[in-house]
Amino acid sequence: MGLNADGQPISGQGSGAPVPLSADFDSIQANVFTPICSVCHIGATAPEGLMLDAAHSYSLLVNVPSTEVPTLLRVKPGDPTDSYLIQKLQGHAAVGAQMPLGQPPLPSTTIAFIVQWITDGAQPGSAAGAASAFALEALAPENGAALTAAPAYIALSFTRALDATRADAAAVRLELLTDSSGTGGSAAADRATSAVMEGAGDVVGARVIETRISVPAGNERTLLLLPLQPLASGQYRVVLSADVASELRALDGASLIDPPIDAAGERIAGSFTVGDAR
């Protein structure tokens, strides 16, 4: 699966030399998460909603609860033993099979690099926060995703560290888009999809879903929305405040430049569908 018996990348046919496997996030992403894990852990069908492509992996791993065992964090900085990722890779997790599923286990030397990265504090890659502009980088579930099961949480990843004191219900909200009677249905879902695609602001019958909002410690570029009740089937969207008094800000006070403010004065981060909205 791209690694030799020593856990090092096998040279490919490309002209560039492979990135050496080491105990840092960029190397682990390039050698493990992208070529091996993201074969399955990608897009709307990613198991447990855990997308391990480069755009999502750090935001969905570090100080984020496991959906299989919510009492454990997927990656607990400084503590690989209680990091669910390590338990799954080593094959002694309380739930499910050893990862990667259906493939040979990772060499112990490869897992050792991931253990060391976590022991050292699970620091982000060198590219994290390098962008000068403060913008939304990724959304999980991805914009337009059609999910067969409700996600345990919605994660927004930004290019820079967030001011966690501004992360509240005034700054970000999750909406269920329904018709004027408050029920779902194909017409409501179609109108909701159209409204999001056209950048419309208020949608008739849209209902704000109560969520717990947090910025994980050590993962300050990520904002988590945890619904207080399981999400019912329907069309949802994530809206960010465009009001200067309540909008999200970077830790240094910078304002968001993306997503842009639409004609109705809203910042629509994206939308997704749960179950059969018809």
Return the HEC string of 83-114.
EHHHHHHHCCCCCCCCCCCCCCCCCHHHHHHH
- How long a stretch of residues is the chain? 278
Burial class (CB in 10 A: 0-12, 13-18, 19+), 159: buried
- Residue 86, phi then psi, degrees to nearest 5: -65, -40
As a whole number of angstroms, the distance between CA 117 and CA 21 comes to: 11
**Residue 154 in contact with residue 167, Cβ under 8 Å?**
no
**Residue 156 in contact with residue 55, Cβ under 8 Å?**
no
| Closest C-alpha among 73, 33, 72 to residue 53 | 33
Segments making up each domain of the chain, as ranges: 25-119, 136-274
Radius of gyration of the chain (CA): 20
Task: Output the CA torsion 141→143→148→150 (10° steps).
Answer: 40
- Residue 83, phi then psi, degrees to nearest 5: -95, 120
Pairing assessment for the beta strands 234-240 and 222-227 based on DSSP bridges:
unpaired
Confidence at residue 78, expressed as pLDDT on a 0 to 100 scale: 96
Query: How many angstroms from the chain centroid is the CA of residue 178?
Result: 25
Fold of 136-274: Immunoglobulin-like (2.60.40)
The pLDDT profile of the chain, 278 residues, written as one tens digit per residue, is 555 555 555 543 333 446 789 999 999 999 999 999 999 999 989 999 999 999 999 999 999 999 999 999 999 999 999 999 999 999 999 999 999 998 999 999 999 999 999 999 999 987 665 557 999 999 999 999 999 999 999 999 999 999 999 999 999 999 999 743 444 444 444 444 444 444 444 555 689 999 999 999 989 999 999 999 999 999 999 999 999 999 999 999 999 999 999 888 889 999 999 987 55
Q: Using CA of residue 269, residue 143, residue 179, residue 194, what is the dihedral sign?
A: positive
Give the E-state strand segments of the chain in sequence order. 136-140, 145-147, 154-158, 172-177, 207-209, 211-214, 222-227, 234-240, 267-274
Count of Cβ atoms closer than 10 Å to residue 259 Cβ: 20
Helix (H) or strand (E) holding 70: none
As a whole number of angstroms, the distance between CA 149 and CA 199 comes to: 26
Confidence at residue 114, expressed as pLDDT on a 0 to 100 scale: 97
Say what the pTM is: 0.80
